Amino acid sequence: MCRLVAYLGEPETTLASLVLEPEHSLLVQSYAPGEMMSGVVNADGFGVGWYAPWSGEEPAVYRSDSPLWADRSFAGMAGKIRSSGVFAAVRSATPGLPAEESGVPPFASGALTFMHNGAIEGFRNGPMRLLRNSLSDESYAGLLGVTDSETIFALVLDRLREGADLEEALRETVRRVSGVCEKLGRRGTLNLALTDGRGMAFVRHSTEGAGNSLYLLEDGEDFPGGVVVASERLDGDAGWREVPDRHLLTVGGERGAALRPLSY
């Protein structure tokens, strides 16, 4: 299980403004999360990806298998880095999966950055083989670890290579993963986040029962002109809205933030 936060907006914001400074920041959520469905802390690593257009389309990514609260280097630089597109997460490794950097979100490939909050039940005993056997050679060769999250990202990349946009890629991937979970009688919690630095797409979904929490804030008091999406509300701003279960959220373009039921 993980906690995540994302930002997109014309005003650049610092990494610290999302990860360290709010009253219920990602840092606080690493040791005192309020709405996690399993686990009690997120001590198995953290990561941040951000876009700097002057350096090209690919994001910069900082990942560690240490707890966020123990990384003095990140704390020292987070207030000095600004970006208009940020993905960040803290990790609580799913039981049975290793706590190593290869499993720490966000994951990146080319211009794309991806996060997954949730788990596929009994992933390494059945679902892993079925899902990985369906990957293209290119996506399979890019796998570094054994997590469900990295496998889901590989599925997303295959859909994008076939011409899907961000929204379509997430929808088709949820359909594929949900089908495997149903076939094997496993539960899958699939809060997914995907960005290319210009737009973002999110899914809140569970194959059975309630999904993990997800919230949206537009033009917030501390983030004017921007959109923040987070597993838990970062502060007491009255503008936070809950993303409904089994919904897809897109951010960017002329529509701003748009919510619609997830169908696949």
pLDDT tens column, 193-245: 999 999 999 999 999 988 899 999 999 999 999 999 999 999 999 999 999 99
SS3 label, residue 36 = coil
List all residues 6 or more positions away from 232 whose beta carbon is below 8 Å from its beta carbon: 3, 24, 29, 33, 34, 35, 213, 215
Extended strands (E) in 121-233: 188-195, 200-204, 215-220, 223-230
SS3 label, residue 116 = strand
> How far apart are alpha carbons 4 and 98 in whole angstroms?
19
- CA-nearest of 212, 151, 140 to 177 is 151
Structure tokens at 226: 């921007």
Q: What percent of the chain has pLDDT over 70?
A: 96
Q: Sorting pLDDT into bands at 50, 70 and 90, what band is 95?
A: low
Work out the number of other CB atoms within 10 angstroms of the CB of residue 144: 11
**What region does 166 belong to: left with phi over 0, alpha with psi -120 to 50, or beta?**
alpha
Active site residues: 2
Structure tokens at 23: 């009253």
Residue 197: predicted pLDDT: 95
170 has a pLDDT exceeding 80: yes
Structure tokens at 126: 């059945």
Residue 54: predicted pLDDT: 86
pLDDT mean across residues, the chain: 93
pTM for this prediction: 0.95
Residue 253: predicted pLDDT: 65
Residue 254: predicted pLDDT: 61
Residue-wise pLDDT for 13-64, tens only, equals 999 999 999 999 999 999 999 998 877 888 889 999 999 988 899 999 999 9
> How far apart are alpha carbons 91 and 104 in whole angstroms?
6
Domains of the chain from N-terminus onward: 2-60+104-261 (3.60.20.10)
- CA-nearest of 209, 191, 210, 211 to 201 is 191
Residue of higher predicted confidence among 67 and 146: 67
- The CA–CA distances, whole Å, from 214 to 56, 60, 184, 192 equal 30, 25, 27, 10
98 has a pLDDT exceeding 70: no
Do residues 244 and 204 make contact, with C-beta atoms less than 8 angstroms apart? yes
Work out the number of other CB atoms within 10 angstroms of the CB of residue 121: 19
Do residues 119 and 1 make contact, with C-beta atoms less than 8 angstroms apart? yes
